[in-house]
């Protein structure tokens, strides 16, 4: 699948963002190793800390459907600059697919591509701990 198509899926999902508190709409689209696409949006809450990011909604929706291997995550936002995944979302991406490609876009869907390891060079892993 070409990046533009995955970005278009994220952009379409973004319309359903529930973000009355930040007014920052985010969309995500996740391509699985098998070629399926799962989308997510940020869902906010009056108790702000309960907000969940678009990327995690996409990943958790895919995992719920039985998916475990992901190849590309596209992220869109409605602000002028590039919308990058937050640290929490990067950690969740790394749980399943350390080799994930991440497409970050500006509001015109101009994109930059990263490897997940570019964005999160060191991650929390139980295997890294000395006990």
Q: Which of 26, 29, 92, 104 binds ligand THU (CB under 6 A)?
A: 26
55 is a contact residue toward ligand THU (CB under 6 A): yes
Closest CA to 79 of 1, 126, 17: 17
In the complex, least distance from residue 54 CB atom to ligand THU, rounded to whole angstroms: 4
Q: Report in angstroms how near the CB of residue 48 gets to ligand THU at its nearest.
A: 9
For residues 92 and 68, the answer to whether their CB atoms sit within 8 Å is no
By the rule CB under 6 A, 22 interacts with ligand THU: yes
Per the CB < 8 A criterion, the answer to whether 11 and 54 are in contact is no
Residue 50: partners with Cβ closer than 8 Å, 6 or more residues away: none
Q: Smallest distance, Å, CB 33 to ligand THU?
A: 22
Give the DSSP letter string of 78-129.
SSSS--PPPHHHHHHHHHH-TT-EEEEE-TT--EEEEEHHHH-SS---GGG-
Name which position in 33, 65, 86, 110 contacts ligand THU (CB under 6 A). 86
**Is 12 annotated in the active site?**
no
Per-residue contact flags (x/-) with ligand THU for residues 92 to 121, judged by CB under 6 A: ------------------------------
51 near ligand THU, judged by CB under 6 A: yes
Provide the annotated active-site residues: 55
């Amino acid at each position: 699948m070409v990046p533009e198509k995955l970005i278009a899926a994220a952009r379409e999902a973004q319309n359903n963002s529930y973000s009355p508190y930040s007014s920052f709409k985010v969309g995500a689209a996740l391509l699985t190793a098998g070629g399926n696409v799962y989308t997510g949006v940020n869902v906010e809450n009056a108790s702000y800390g309960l907000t969940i990011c678009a990327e995690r909604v996409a990943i958790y929706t895919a995992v719920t459907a039985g998916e475990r291997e992901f190849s590309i995550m596209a992220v869109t936002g409605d602000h002028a600059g590039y919308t990058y995944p937050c640290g929490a979302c990067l950690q969740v991406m790394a749980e399943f697919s350390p080799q994930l490609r991440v497409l970050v876009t500006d509001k015109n869907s101009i994109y930059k591509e990263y490897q997940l390891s570019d964005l999160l060079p060191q991650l929390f892993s139980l295997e890294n701990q000395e006990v």
